Amino acid sequence: MPEWIQTSFTCVTVSVSGSNYVFKFNSVPTYKSIYWGSSSANYESTMYVNSGQSNSANPNLIKSQNYTLTVPINNTDISAPASSFGMIGVSTNGIAIYNDQAAPGDSLSTEYYTFDSAQGHPTNTGAYHYHVEPPKISNNDSKLVGIAKDGYLIFGKKHDSITAGLTNGFTLGGANSSTKCTDAGSSTSVPTTWAGAANYNSIKTANTRHHYHVNNGTEVNGILLSGKLIGVGGSTN
């Protein structure tokens, strides 16, 4: 198991299977949330949106999940396939990452008002997940946020000190979409300010170091992954 996985991820079990890494995780947060329910010691009433907006929790409570995310170790595909609703990545603190689609019949800009203080919320089966920049991990910086189904890493809004989404980055699939890094030189290296960068860069080829950044979009600020991924590959269940 490479050092960059060991030093960067918690609350996940990772193994190597052929040419894939297999992440197993329960998507249960280790912090307080309104979605533990008021009878829990981990309950807090605070939500992310607090002032001048009508925040309101959805009726669901957090339940442990049985997620498996299988990602290619050295993906080189960059054909930008469509992403799908549901878990398509895992954060460095072991939480499922969803794209920018809300549950059918709802929009993410509406669901935004149901996010807990960590910008997460559970589905009607208790599956807790993130759609946008998780403040428990990253806040307008270049920290590693997680890994997507296609095996490419997701960093915060900045590539080192550069704000990726606003400079030379380009988006996949139009407005409010996944941000694939193309800052000068960056498509062949990951942010050097990330603690695992040296180890990661040493075991990856240039073609496998493509990566995402948290989006700088404004509708719902900080989308993690959107309508398109960088490459084909990986599986979830």
Binding site for Zn ion (CB under 5 A): 159, 181, 186
We find the least distance from the C-beta atom of residue 120 to Zn ion, in angstroms, to be: 8
We find the least distance from the C-beta atom of residue 186 to Zn ion, in angstroms, to be: 4
Q: Which residue is nearest to Zn ion (CB)?
A: 181
Q: Tell me how far apart the 2 most distant CA atoms of the chain are, in Å.
A: 52
SS3 at position 213? strand
We find the least distance from the C-beta atom of residue 44 to Zn ion, in angstroms, to be: 19
Nearest to 7 by CA among 197, 234, 186: 197
Phi, psi torsion values for 209, nearest 5 degrees: -100, 10
Task: CB nearer to Zn ion: give 42 or 58.
Answer: 58
Q: Compute CA 224 distance to the chain's CA centroid, rounded to the nearest angstrom.
A: 5
Task: CB nearer to Zn ion: give 20 or 186.
Answer: 186
Nearest to 153 by CA among 216, 116, 117, 197: 197
Using CA atoms, how far apart are residues 227 and 72, in angstroms rounded to an integer? 20
We find the least distance from the C-beta atom of residue 111 to Zn ion, in angstroms, to be: 5
